[in-house]
Amino acid sequence: MKTFSEFVAAPEDEGLFEMANLFSKHTGLPFVVWISYKGGAQHDVRVKVSPGPKSTPSHMVSVAIRPSVHVVEGQMSASDLAQLTRWIELNRDVLIRYWDGEIDTKDAIDTLKPIR
């Protein structure tokens, strides 16, 4: 598990209650991935990453998935970003459909694949 000092992010307006957190056992990643619906967001599809499930927005990294995976707020190591990119590429369609509200949280969680 990562320590908080390894993740640096700026706070955003999006509330954690609007996001579903995915633990390592479901993603295969060494950190927690948070996914959400678009809601009132003015940006394209993003996921957030935190070192653990009990995080505040200031400890999260925001990562856009289109047109290519890239960090938009905060910092991640190159190796963590490479792992996250692999997971996003494996699950891009599900993440976009969830963001767009085409599937619900249970459908998204049931469909997402972990990296091995």
Longest dimension (CA), the chain: 36
Residue 76 belongs to a domain: yes
User: In terms of DSSP H, where are the helices of 65-104?
Assistant: 78-99
DSSP-derived secondary structure letter, 6: G
Residue 61 belongs to a domain: yes
pLDDT score of 13: 43
Name residue 1's amino acid. Answer: M
pLDDT score of 52: 85
pLDDT score of 53: 81
pLDDT score of 114: 97
Residue 116 belongs to a domain: no
pLDDT score of 68: 96
Give the chain's residues under pLDDT 50.
1-16
pLDDT score of 92: 97
SS3 71: strand
How many Cβ atoms are within 10 Å of 106's Cβ, its own excluded? 9
Backbone angles phi, psi at 32, to 5 degrees: -90, 135
Full 3-state SS string of 36-56? ECCCCCCCCCEEEEECCCCCC
Residue 97 belongs to a domain: yes
DSSP-derived secondary structure letter, 82: H
pLDDT score of 11: 40
Number of domains in the chain: 1
Contact 29, 84 (CB under 8 A): yes
pLDDT score of 4: 35
pLDDT score of 116: 84
Domain that holds residue 71: 4-111
pLDDT score of 56: 78
